[in-house]
Amino acid sequence: MVVAPITAQTPLRFSDPLPEAVDTVIIGGGVIGVFTAHYLAQMGQRVLVCEKGRIAGEQSSRNWGWVRQQGRDRAELPIMMQALELWHDVDAQVKGATGLKTVGVNYLASSDTEMAKLAEWLVTAKENGLVSEKLTRRQVNEQFSGQGNGQWVGAVRTPSDARAEPWQAVPSVAHLAQENGVLIREDCAVRGLDVSAGHVSGVETEAGLVRCEQVVLAGGAWSSLFARANGVNFPQLSVCETVARTAPLAAFFEGCAADEKLALRRRADGGYTLAPGAGIGFYLGPDAFRHFGAFTAVVRKHLLDIKPSPFAPHGFPDAWATPRKWDTASTSPFERMRVLEPKPDLAYVKRMQKQFAIRFPQIGKPQILNSWAGMIDTMPDVVPVVDHSPLPGLIIATGMSGHGFGIGPGFGRIVARMATGRAAEHDLRRFRFSRFSDGSVLDVGSAL
């Protein structure tokens, strides 16, 4: 069993021939792009997914693996509840290949003050008919088979939440989509849009032109760079988060949990995935300064969690030397950096080991088999943009802000319905493109 993110060294698995024309081209083979393709195919569309590197090579195989309703933004929760149903449906279609397992998500409180904050979300859960519950100190200890140190005064738990294996899940859905007629091509960067009479009419890829009626931009951390080069501007930045994988441990806890300093989930291989409950890296670059004003509120809210660095690695989307404009007849930034593979912060890894041992003293410090990091595309209010763009024929679905893996099927279905002119099933005003320019006061959502 391979238990690691997909990288640039992962062998090609999707190499369909480039068509002359399709109905919709999807830029980006992450969880949003793949699920959008899956549902568009079900709706009878001809679809091409262009992935510059590898399907799920970036954050879609580097995330925590949580499929959670717990703690969702008020506007996201109905979509996430539908997404969970869709996860179960697709997992059955791929015969369990996503690794989906209902285990529950626990948000843990180390103080009465923190517990009161967590309990506020129960109102949102109740309004949406979601069963979430408060746990006492004793009940929390039972969740961890008596292995905890007793530091948590309580928790909020959503029993129907689940976990999945990211490096398996998205590729398995991509294969399903391919079986249903979707064309998928890795190592195929889209360099730019072909526009006729003010409307998108195709894409210029590194392998040639493909005609289409519309394009879905689901490029994750690369989305704003691509959009801006094609005349569409919105404030998106990316943060870096480190994740670690422990060796197999006794099955003292099957679910997902997080407190103020540590997050963990049981994996199918018997180990645990660890992540900092708080702690993100941030590379300063041209977009960071360009969009500073828009991000003031979220930076102020999470200032102590941010570890800044003055320079992004060469070739990253907001690196100082990354071109902002390029000729579509020549190599683009997307070909120069096939897969974003930031280095994990080893200081965070050591801290997670220590925090784990403190919380579970009878188990002690876990052995770390490997660690990795991912670039998380985020928006100033920590909820995504899912909307038609000002350029007719271009739909934008990006800025999932670390919440994209679990909600991927939900937003994939939304984008597919949007692309085919079907009525919206949810209130999407929170995710509109215009909120950054229409004078709206941004309401910063949860960052976990």
Query: For residue 1, what pLDDT is reported?
Result: 60
Bridging pattern class, strands 368-378 and 306-309? unpaired
Q: Tell the burial category of 280 from Cβ atoms under 10 Å away from its Cβ (0-12, 13-18, 19+).
A: buried
Q: Which residue has the tokens 């580097």?
A: 62
If you ran DSSP here, which 8-state letter would residue 207 be given?
T
Q: Is it the case that residue 446 has pLDDT exceeding 90?
A: no
- Give bridge partners of residue 398 from the DSSP assignment: 385
Q: Is 405 helix (H, G, I), strand (E, B) or coil?
A: helix
Tens digit of pLDDT for each residue in 81-134? Answer: 999 999 999 999 999 999 999 999 999 999 999 999 999 999 999 999 999 999
Q: What is the DSSP string of 149-180?
A: -S---EEEEETT-EE--HHHHHHHHHHHHHHT
Percent of the chain residues topping a pLDDT of 90: 92
Residues constituting the chain: 448
Q: Which residue has the tokens 């409950």?
A: 277
Q: How many CA atoms lie within 13 A of 240 on its CB side?
A: 23
pLDDT band at 45 (very low <50, low <70, confident <90, very high): very high
Query: For residue 447, what pLDDT is reported?
Result: 58
Query: Cα separation of 437 and 448, whole Å?
Result: 26
Lowest mean pLDDT among 16-25, 41-50, 237-246, 298-307: 298-307
Q: What is the DSSP string of 292-353?
A: TTTTHHHHHHTGGGEEEES-PPTTSTT-TTS-S---TTS--HHHH-SS--PPP-HHHHHHHH
Q: Is it the case that residue 438 has pLDDT exceeding 80?
A: yes
- pTM of the model as a whole: 0.97
Q: Please give the domain boundaries of the chain with CATH numbers for all domains.
A: 24-104+160-436 (3.50.50.60), 105-159 (no CATH)
Query: For residue 87, what pLDDT is reported?
Result: 98
Closest residue by Cα to residue 409 from 4, 75, 91: 91
Q: Is it the case that residue 406 has pLDDT exceeding 90?
A: yes
Closest residue by Cα to residue 407 from 63, 119, 124, 10: 63
pLDDT band at 315 (very low <50, low <70, confident <90, very high): very high
- Composition of the chain by helix, strand, coil, percent to 5: 30, 25, 45
Considering only CA atoms, give the Rg of the chain.
21
Residue 35 token pair? 């699920």
Tens digit of pLDDT for each residue in 128-184? Answer: 999 999 999 999 999 999 999 999 999 999 999 999 999 999 999 999 999 999 999
Query: For residue 448, what pLDDT is reported?
Result: 56
pLDDT band at 277 (very low <50, low <70, confident <90, very high): confident
Query: For residue 302, what pLDDT is reported?
Result: 77
Task: Round the average pLDDT of the chain to a whole number and report it.
Answer: 96
Query: For residue 445, what pLDDT is reported?
Result: 84
Q: What is the DSSP string of 103-144?
A: --EEEEESSHHHHHHHHHHHHHHHHTT---EEEEHHHHHHHT
- Give bridge partners of residue 308 from the DSSP assignment: 282
Q: Residues 353-357: what's their mean pLDDT?
A: 97
Tens digit of pLDDT for each residue in 357-400? Answer: 999 999 999 999 999 999 999 999 999 999 999 999 999 999 99
**Which residues, 6 or more positions from 284, have their beta carbon under 8 angstroms from its beta carbon?**
308, 309, 310, 311, 312
Q: What is the DSSP string of 44-106?
A: T--EEEE-SS-TT-SHHHHS--EE--TT--TTTHHHHHHHHHHHHHHHHHTTTTT--EE--EE
Lowest mean pLDDT among 45-54, 258-267, 274-283, 311-320: 274-283
Residue 112 token pair? 């009465």
Q: How many CA atoms lie within 13 A of 160 on its CB side?
A: 14
Query: For residue 318, what pLDDT is reported?
Result: 96
Closest residue by Cα to residue 367 from 355, 353, 354: 353
Closest residue by Cα to residue 433 from 403, 375, 392: 392
Tens digit of pLDDT for each residue in 407-422? Answer: 999 999 999 999 999 9
Query: For residue 442, what pLDDT is reported?
Result: 86
